[in-house]
Amino acid sequence: MELSLGYSPCPNDTFIFFALVHRLIECPGFTFRERLEDVETLNGLAREGSLDVSKISYHALGYLRDDYCLLRAGGALGRGCGPLVVTKGARSMAELRGKPIAVPGRYTTAALLLRLFDPGLDTLVYLPFHEIMGAVARGEVAAGVIIHESRFTFPAYGLTKLLDLGDWWEGETGHAIPLGGIIAKRSLGREAVRAIDRALRASVAYAQAHPGEANEYIRAHSQEMSDEVCAAHINLYVNDYSLDLGPVGEEAVSYLLGRAEEAGIVPRATQPLFLS
């Protein structure tokens, strides 16, 4: 059976999925037709039910739990890797109330964390993540919430960090920060979901065991990124949680979604998070 598979062109995702889509590891009974899109585009495609398996923002997952389950492998969760709030002139987060703040999509975890930090920061401007730093630098918005490789490049735009939302989350809750996970349609069934999860875990393990093998594929999708930033991106977002969320990762995800439910941001779950 051929399954549609969505993930982003960011180095951590192309690193993780390289072995799976190039059939260097087996997923008996399944092949994958990949579609590479920005994470907010993937969020929208999953909300439409257009993808069988997909990378997703954990914020978006809060709206999709009736139709999709979470896989334990392949995601981005960790410490010291959260979104940053950057600005050109603001001196405090309180100063941003009532002013436009760019975020990388309505359903991104970055947008969710900002809302949880201060619901009063509600003048949000939704931009593709790679356009946010330019908008802040030009004064089109008062601040921006940046993700991905922007963490490493924002000083070149003359911007300063006002808040690390990941540091705030870790200090506030004690949990690692869940950024994005991999989901599969519940309709595929328990055994299929288990097989896909095993194959994805094997794909991560293959990439870690053969770190240079995916370089050409990774660079083909990140041509504007230097080798140094590309390597830093992978090192930051690919870790032991990418192999398996484990109890600590599962608890972190459940806590984030629970906080979002309590705040009235996402609907309360009617299905268990995992199928397998």
DSSP the chain: -EEEEEE-SSHHHHHHHHHHHTTSS--TT-EEEEEE--HHHHHHHHHTT--SEEEEEHHHHTTTTTTEEE-SSS-EEESS---EEEESS--SSGGGTTS-EEES-TTSHHHHHHHHH-TT---EEE--GGGHHHHHHTTSSSEEEE-TTHHHHGGGGT-EEEEEHHHHHHHHHSSPEEEEEEEEEGGG-HHHHHHHHHHHHHHHHHHHHSTTTTHHHHHHT-TTS-HHHHHHHHHHH-SHHHH--HHHHHHHHHHHHHHHHHTTSSPPPSS-S---
Asked if residue 34 is part of any domain, the answer here is: yes
Same domain flag for 20 and 36: yes
Residue 274: predicted pLDDT: 96
256 and 184 in a common domain: yes
Is position 231 annotated in a ligand binding site?
A: no
CB atoms within 10 A of CB 171: 9
Determine the 3-state secondary structure of 201 from DSSP: helix
User: C-alpha 160: how far from its chain's center?
Assistant: 23
Min mean pLDDT across 80-94, 114-128, 228-242 is at: 228-242
Assess whether pLDDT exceeds 70 at residue 244.
yes
Last residue of a domain, one of 173, 192, 221: 173
Per annotation, catalytic residue among 22, 130, 148, 175: 148
Based on the domain organization, do 72 and 193 belong to the same domain?
A: yes
pLDDT in tens, 110-138: 999 999 999 999 999 999 988 999 999 99
Does position 107 have pLDDT exceeding 90, yes or no? yes
169 and 181: one domain?
no
Residues 136, 120 within the same domain: yes
Domain at 215, CATH number? 3.40.190.10
Strand partners, 102: 125, 144
| Shared-domain flag, residues 63 and 199 | yes
Residue 142 labelled as part of a binding site: no
Is position 213 within any domain?
yes
Query: At 184, which helix (H) or strand (E)?
Result: strand 177-185
Is 130 an active-site residue? Answer: no
On whether both 68 and 189 belong to a single domain, the answer is yes
Over 80: is that where the pLDDT of 236 sits? yes
Both 73 and 88 in a single domain? Answer: no
213 & 169 share domain:
no
Are residues 102 and 219 located together in one domain of the fold? no
Residue 140 in any domain: the answer is yes
> 248 lies in a domain?
yes
**CA-to-CA distance for 269 and 272, rounded, in angstroms?**
7
3 state DSSP class of 4: strand
Total count of domains within the chain = 2
- b/e per residue, 259-274, with b = 16+ CB within 10 A? bbeeeebbeeeeeeee
Examine residue 48 and state whether it is found in any structural domain, yes or no. yes
Query: Model confidence at 48, in pLDDT bands (50, 70, 90)?
Result: very high
pLDDT in tens, 148-189: 878 888 999 999 999 999 999 999 999 999 999 999 999 999
Phi-psi bin for 227: left (phi > 0), alpha (psi -120 to 50), beta?
Answer: alpha
Is 56 annotated in a binding site? The answer is yes
pLDDT band at 276 (very low <50, low <70, confident <90, very high): low
Lowest mean pLDDT, pick from 26-30, 136-140, 203-207, 256-260: 26-30
| CB-based burial label for 191 (10 Å; 0-12, 13-18, 19+) | exposed
Instruction: Let me know whether 188 and 257 are in one domain.
Output: yes
pLDDT at 263 > cutoff 90: yes
For the beta carbon of residue 22, count every other beta carbon within 10 angstroms. Answer: 14
Q: Is residue 118 part of a domain?
A: yes
Annotated binding residue at 57?
A: yes
Q: Which residues pair with 97 in a beta bridge?
A: none
Same domain, 196 and 257: yes
Work out the mean pLDDT of the chain and round it to a whole number.
95
183 contacts 65 by C-beta, under 8 angstroms: no
The pLDDT tens digits of the residues spanning 200-229 come to 999 999 999 998 899 999 999 887 778 888
User: What's the whole-number mean pLDDT along residues 234-246?
Assistant: 93
Residues of the domain holding 97? 84-173
* Amino acid identity, position 164: D
Q: Which residue, of 141, 173, 205, is where some domain finishes?
A: 173
Is 274 within the bounds of a domain?
Answer: no
Among 155, 173, 191, the domain-final residue is 173
Whether residue 273 lies inside any domain: the answer is no
